[in-house]
Structure 1
Amino acid sequence: MSLLIVADADTLFPATTRGLLIYLDFGGLIRLHWSPMILDEVARALVDAGRKKTLDDAKAHEARMQDALPHALVATRDVQAQFASVAHAVRSAKDAHVAACAHYLIAANAYGGGQAVALVTRNTKDFRKGELAKLGIALRKPDEFLAALFQGDPQAFSAAFRHFRTDLSSRPQPDDLLARLHKDGQVQVAAALMSSLQAGTVEL
């Protein structure tokens, strides 16, 4: 069964990480989710960082993300309905919507079977890990999450990476795309992929 994840804006902001997560969903390893509020944060951050010229450009990119993964969106009203349930599990009110997005999937039994949800964020200090765990939400940093996912199924992960790489218009070499992933901060998983590539145990 695919792992359910909600990716925070800081996880979706770096382009290579964002693309890899989408292709990991395509490959069936994860079921990725976000909300309009998370996507709006990403869009505004891309403009502020100069990676998109205008908010319209960023919103067009956001629309392509939604087209790629139509199942990923958790509606604003569904997120807002969970604010009270997660208030005790966040240290910063500005991050409540991320935890609420994750909790919606549990409260709605969106996938059945009481499956836990991973909240993937670099900003772990703004959440109360123990309180989230009581709600069925596992707080994870993106690098550790991706490294564990690779270790769990190296061939499927590598196939998703390869699909992502070959779909890019620039068709980068594996080591170039791994360098980009490393630059995004995903150091552990980039190193694990490179080591496996050099050992000849995976194709990227």
Structure 2
Amino acid sequence: MRALLDACVLFPTVMREMLLGAAAAGGFAPVWSERLLEEWARATRRLPEGAEAIARAEIAHMRDRWPEATAPAPEELVAGLSLPDPDDRHVLAAAITGGADVLITLNRADFPTRTLARHGILLREPDGFLTELAAEGIDLARVAEEVRSRAEAASGRPQALRPLLKRAGLPRLGKALAADG
């Protein structure tokens, strides 16, 4: 399965690390466009100094790890698509050219399911998507523990897994992993 990761799910650290960890564990093949990666990097400019450099280093690592993930969003395809927000057409175009089966976003209203279905693409939010992968046997408990450990090291404070995932917008995943633990 190929899944396009919208910029809004790449920006939050814990959410991004869980999604990329799930991809690394074999749950799916990620897809993105250069424009989506650039949107994420630019969004970090409102964070403390150095955040953009960190994001760009992570982007370089992602490109190295998944060289086949970058999909073009040709202008002629973008121009022919219709979405509630015309600025999101490039996202759908990248999903189409990247062969995505799923588009993962927090912006459900911007991507009508009928429009996506015409291109054979399902719309999923990260929490439900990751919870389903865990139910299918992808080892997200290990991924979550690695993410929790990094969050703890970065904050200098203990981080309980379920509240960390809840704060990251992944409450169902946190509940599912707690039930399995």
Is the structural similarity TM-score above 0.5?
yes
1:82 and 1:101 in contact (8 A); partners too? no
Q: Which residue of 1 aligns with 2:55?
A: 58
Q: Which runs of 5+ in 1 are unaligned?
A: 107-115, 198-204
Q: Which residue of 2 aligns with 1:93?
A: 86
1:26 and 1:160 in contact (8 A); partners too? no
2:148 and 2:160 in contact (8 A); partners too? no
Q: Counterpart amino acid of 1:186?
A: L
Q: TM-score, normalised by structure 1?
A: 0.76
Whole-angstrom distance in 1 between the partners of 2:63 and 2:10: 13
1:152 maps to which of 136, 140, 152: 136
TM-superposition CA deviations, 1:12-63 (whole Å, max 9, x none): 1111111111121111111111111101111111222x15536444323322
Cα distance change, pair 144–66 in 1 and its aligned pair in 2 (3 A): same
- Are residue 38 (structure 1) and residue 36 (structure 2) matched? yes
Secondary structure in 1 matching 2:84: coil
Whole-angstrom distance in 1 between the partners of 2:136 and 2:53: 39
Cα distance change, pair 52–100 in 1 and its aligned pair in 2 (3 A): farther
| Percent identity of paired positions between Structure 1 and Structure 2 | 29
1:66-85 matches, cutoff 5 A: 66-74=63-71, 78-80=72-74, 81-85=76-80
Q: Which runs of 5+ in 2 are unaligned?
A: none
Across the aligned residues of Structure 1 and Structure 2, the Cα RMSD in angstroms comes to: 2.7
Q: Counterpart amino acid of 1:95?
A: D
TM-superposition CA deviations, 1:66-123 (whole Å, max 9, x none): 223222222xxx31253145x13x21111111111111133xxxxxxxxx61000000
Whole-angstrom distance in 2 between the partners of 1:64 and 1:72: 12
Q: In terms of mean alpha carbon deviation, does 174-183 or 23-32 score higher?
A: 174-183
Q: Which residue of 2 aligns with 1:13?
A: 11
TM-superposition CA deviations, 1:110-146 (whole Å, max 9, x none): xxxxxx6100000010112112112101011111111
Q: Which residue of 2 aligns with 1:187?
A: 171
Q: Counterpart amino acid of 1:28?
A: G
Whole-angstrom distance in 1 between the partners of 2:142 and 2:53: 33
How many residue pairs were aligned? 179
Q: Counterpart amino acid of 1:170?
A: A
Q: TM-score, normalised by structure 2?
A: 0.84
1:8 and 1:98 in contact (8 A); partners too? yes
Q: Counterpart amino acid of 2:139?
A: A
1:121 maps to which of 88, 91, 105: 105
